[in-house]
Structure 1
Amino acid sequence: MTVWVAIGALAIINFVIKAAGPALLGDRPLPPRVSLVVHSLAPALLAGLLIVQLLGEGWRAFDWKLLPGLAAIGVLWMLGRSQIVCLIGGVLVTVAIRALA
Protein backbone atom coordinates (compact mmCIF):
# COMPACT_ATOMS: atom_id res chain seq x y z
CA MET A 1 0.00 0.00 0.00
CA THR A 2 2.84 2.43 0.76
CA VAL A 3 4.23 1.98 -2.75
CA TRP A 4 0.94 3.18 -4.25
CA VAL A 5 0.85 6.13 -1.88
CA ALA A 6 4.37 7.07 -2.99
CA ILE A 7 3.41 6.70 -6.66
CA GLY A 8 0.33 8.86 -6.14
CA ALA A 9 2.30 11.50 -4.26
CA LEU A 10 4.94 11.63 -6.98
CA ALA A 11 2.26 11.93 -9.66
CA ILE A 12 0.66 14.86 -7.84
CA ILE A 13 4.04 16.55 -7.29
CA ASN A 14 4.87 16.05 -10.97
CA PHE A 15 1.55 17.61 -12.00
CA VAL A 16 2.06 20.61 -9.71
CA ILE A 17 5.59 21.22 -11.01
CA LYS A 18 4.45 21.01 -14.63
CA ALA A 19 1.51 23.32 -13.97
CA ALA A 20 3.68 25.88 -12.18
CA GLY A 21 5.61 26.84 -15.33
CA PRO A 22 2.67 28.07 -17.42
CA ALA A 23 0.99 29.54 -14.34
CA LEU A 24 4.05 31.61 -13.42
CA LEU A 25 5.18 32.58 -16.92
CA GLY A 26 1.83 33.11 -18.60
CA ASP A 27 2.37 34.16 -22.21
CA ARG A 28 5.89 35.46 -21.68
CA PRO A 29 8.66 33.59 -23.52
CA LEU A 30 11.60 32.16 -21.65
CA PRO A 31 14.82 34.19 -21.62
CA PRO A 32 17.23 33.10 -24.39
CA ARG A 33 19.74 31.47 -22.01
CA VAL A 34 17.05 29.50 -20.19
CA SER A 35 15.51 28.46 -23.51
CA LEU A 36 18.90 27.21 -24.70
CA VAL A 37 19.36 25.14 -21.53
CA VAL A 38 15.85 23.68 -21.76
CA HIS A 39 16.35 22.72 -25.41
CA SER A 40 19.72 21.14 -24.60
CA LEU A 41 18.43 18.95 -21.76
CA ALA A 42 16.70 16.29 -23.89
CA PRO A 43 19.68 15.49 -26.16
CA ALA A 44 22.04 15.45 -23.18
CA LEU A 45 19.77 13.09 -21.25
CA LEU A 46 19.37 10.84 -24.30
CA ALA A 47 23.14 10.73 -24.84
CA GLY A 48 23.68 9.83 -21.19
CA LEU A 49 21.11 7.04 -21.33
CA LEU A 50 22.65 5.66 -24.53
CA ILE A 51 26.16 5.64 -23.06
CA VAL A 52 25.00 3.86 -19.91
CA GLN A 53 23.05 1.31 -21.97
CA LEU A 54 25.96 0.77 -24.34
CA LEU A 55 28.67 0.39 -21.69
CA GLY A 56 26.58 -1.52 -19.16
CA GLU A 57 26.51 -1.52 -15.39
CA GLY A 58 29.60 0.06 -13.91
CA TRP A 59 30.80 0.81 -17.47
CA ARG A 60 32.33 -2.67 -17.66
CA ALA A 61 30.03 -4.59 -20.00
CA PHE A 62 30.39 -3.15 -23.50
CA ASP A 63 27.53 -4.39 -25.71
CA TRP A 64 28.75 -4.19 -29.30
CA LYS A 65 25.38 -5.39 -30.63
CA LEU A 66 23.92 -1.92 -30.04
CA LEU A 67 26.42 -0.15 -32.31
CA PRO A 68 24.88 -1.18 -35.67
CA GLY A 69 21.45 -0.04 -34.44
CA LEU A 70 22.87 3.32 -33.37
CA ALA A 71 24.64 3.63 -36.71
CA ALA A 72 21.38 2.87 -38.54
CA ILE A 73 19.61 5.57 -36.54
CA GLY A 74 22.35 8.05 -37.43
CA VAL A 75 22.23 7.19 -41.13
CA LEU A 76 18.44 7.42 -41.27
CA TRP A 77 18.53 10.74 -39.41
CA MET A 78 21.11 12.13 -41.86
CA LEU A 79 18.86 11.03 -44.73
CA GLY A 80 16.11 13.21 -43.27
CA ARG A 81 13.78 10.50 -42.03
CA SER A 82 11.36 11.14 -39.19
CA GLN A 83 12.23 10.26 -35.61
CA ILE A 84 9.85 7.29 -35.50
CA VAL A 85 11.32 5.86 -38.72
CA CYS A 86 14.83 6.25 -37.27
CA LEU A 87 13.79 4.55 -34.05
CA ILE A 88 12.07 1.64 -35.80
CA GLY A 89 15.03 1.22 -38.16
CA GLY A 90 17.49 1.14 -35.28
CA VAL A 91 15.38 -1.36 -33.36
CA LEU A 92 15.06 -3.64 -36.39
CA VAL A 93 18.80 -3.58 -37.07
CA THR A 94 19.58 -4.28 -33.40
CA VAL A 95 17.09 -7.15 -33.28
CA ALA A 96 18.56 -8.64 -36.45
CA ILE A 97 22.13 -8.40 -35.10
CA ARG A 98 21.13 -9.96 -31.78
CA ALA A 99 19.30 -12.78 -33.59
CA LEU A 100 22.36 -13.53 -35.73
CA ALA A 101 24.91 -13.27 -32.92
Structure 2
Amino acid sequence: MIQLENICKQYTNHNHTIHAVDNVSFSVAPNERVGIAGGSGSGKSTLLRLIAMLEKPTSGTLRLFGEEIHSIQNHTEIYRSMQMMFQNPLAV
Protein backbone atom coordinates (compact mmCIF):
# COMPACT_ATOMS: atom_id res chain seq x y z
CA MET A 1 0.00 0.00 0.00
CA ILE A 2 2.75 2.48 0.97
CA GLN A 3 6.38 1.90 0.01
CA LEU A 4 9.24 4.30 0.58
CA GLU A 5 12.73 3.54 -0.73
CA ASN A 6 15.62 5.83 0.18
CA ILE A 7 13.35 8.88 0.46
CA CYS A 8 15.10 12.20 1.05
CA LYS A 9 13.69 15.69 1.40
CA GLN A 10 15.98 18.68 1.55
CA TYR A 11 15.29 22.37 1.92
CA THR A 12 17.77 25.11 1.13
CA ASN A 13 17.68 28.36 3.06
CA HIS A 14 20.33 31.05 2.53
CA ASN A 15 22.83 28.53 1.07
CA HIS A 16 22.25 26.20 4.04
CA THR A 17 20.81 22.75 3.27
CA ILE A 18 18.46 21.15 5.76
CA HIS A 19 18.00 17.38 5.50
CA ALA A 20 14.43 17.10 6.81
CA VAL A 21 14.12 13.42 5.78
CA ASP A 22 17.30 11.51 5.01
CA ASN A 23 17.34 8.07 3.36
CA VAL A 24 14.13 6.63 4.84
CA SER A 25 12.85 3.24 3.69
CA PHE A 26 9.86 1.27 4.95
CA SER A 27 6.57 -0.18 3.78
CA VAL A 28 3.07 -0.39 5.20
CA ALA A 29 0.89 -3.31 4.11
CA PRO A 30 -2.89 -3.11 3.69
CA ASN A 31 -4.67 -3.12 7.07
CA GLU A 32 -1.37 -2.58 8.88
CA ARG A 33 -1.18 0.31 11.34
CA VAL A 34 2.01 2.21 11.96
CA GLY A 35 2.97 4.93 14.42
CA ILE A 36 5.65 7.50 13.69
CA ALA A 37 7.43 8.93 16.72
CA GLY A 38 10.40 11.22 17.21
CA GLY A 39 11.57 14.43 18.74
CA SER A 40 10.72 17.91 17.60
CA GLY A 41 12.32 18.64 14.24
CA SER A 42 13.06 14.99 13.44
CA GLY A 43 11.08 15.01 10.16
CA LYS A 44 7.81 13.33 11.16
CA SER A 45 5.55 15.97 9.63
CA THR A 46 7.67 16.24 6.49
CA LEU A 47 7.54 12.47 6.05
CA LEU A 48 3.75 12.47 6.36
CA ARG A 49 3.47 15.42 3.96
CA LEU A 50 5.51 13.41 1.44
CA ILE A 51 3.23 10.38 1.80
CA ALA A 52 0.15 12.62 1.42
CA MET A 53 1.70 14.09 -1.76
CA LEU A 54 1.69 17.60 -0.30
CA GLU A 55 5.46 17.71 -0.89
CA LYS A 56 7.66 16.04 -3.49
CA PRO A 57 10.72 14.07 -2.38
CA THR A 58 14.14 15.40 -3.32
CA SER A 59 15.17 11.83 -4.15
CA GLY A 60 14.06 8.26 -3.64
CA THR A 61 10.99 6.29 -4.65
CA LEU A 62 7.54 6.62 -3.09
CA ARG A 63 4.79 4.21 -4.16
CA LEU A 64 1.16 4.41 -3.11
CA PHE A 65 -1.06 1.42 -3.90
CA GLY A 66 1.67 0.05 -6.18
CA GLU A 67 2.13 3.20 -8.29
CA GLU A 68 5.03 5.62 -8.15
CA ILE A 69 3.71 9.04 -7.17
CA HIS A 70 5.28 10.59 -10.28
CA SER A 71 3.04 8.46 -12.50
CA ILE A 72 -0.24 8.96 -10.62
CA GLN A 73 -2.61 10.90 -12.85
CA ASN A 74 -5.74 10.88 -10.71
CA HIS A 75 -4.88 12.11 -7.22
CA THR A 76 -8.57 12.10 -6.25
CA GLU A 77 -8.67 8.30 -5.99
CA ILE A 78 -5.56 8.29 -3.80
CA TYR A 79 -6.90 11.07 -1.59
CA ARG A 80 -10.11 9.11 -1.05
CA SER A 81 -8.06 6.17 0.21
CA MET A 82 -6.06 8.06 2.85
CA GLN A 83 -6.60 10.72 5.44
CA MET A 84 -4.30 13.03 7.34
CA MET A 85 -5.21 14.96 10.44
CA PHE A 86 -2.91 17.83 11.35
CA GLN A 87 -2.07 18.40 15.00
CA ASN A 88 -3.23 22.00 14.63
CA PRO A 89 -5.63 22.13 11.65
CA LEU A 90 -5.51 25.93 11.52
CA ALA A 91 -1.74 25.87 10.95
CA VAL A 92 -1.78 24.05 7.60
TM beyond 0.5? no
Q: Normalization by structure 1: what TM-score?
A: 0.23
Q: Normalization by structure 2: what TM-score?
A: 0.25
Tell which has more relative contact order, 1 or 2 (C-alpha 8 A, sep 6+): 2
In our comparison, the structure showing a higher alpha carbon Rg is: 1
Q: Which has the higher strand share?
A: 2
Q: Which has the higher helix share?
A: 1
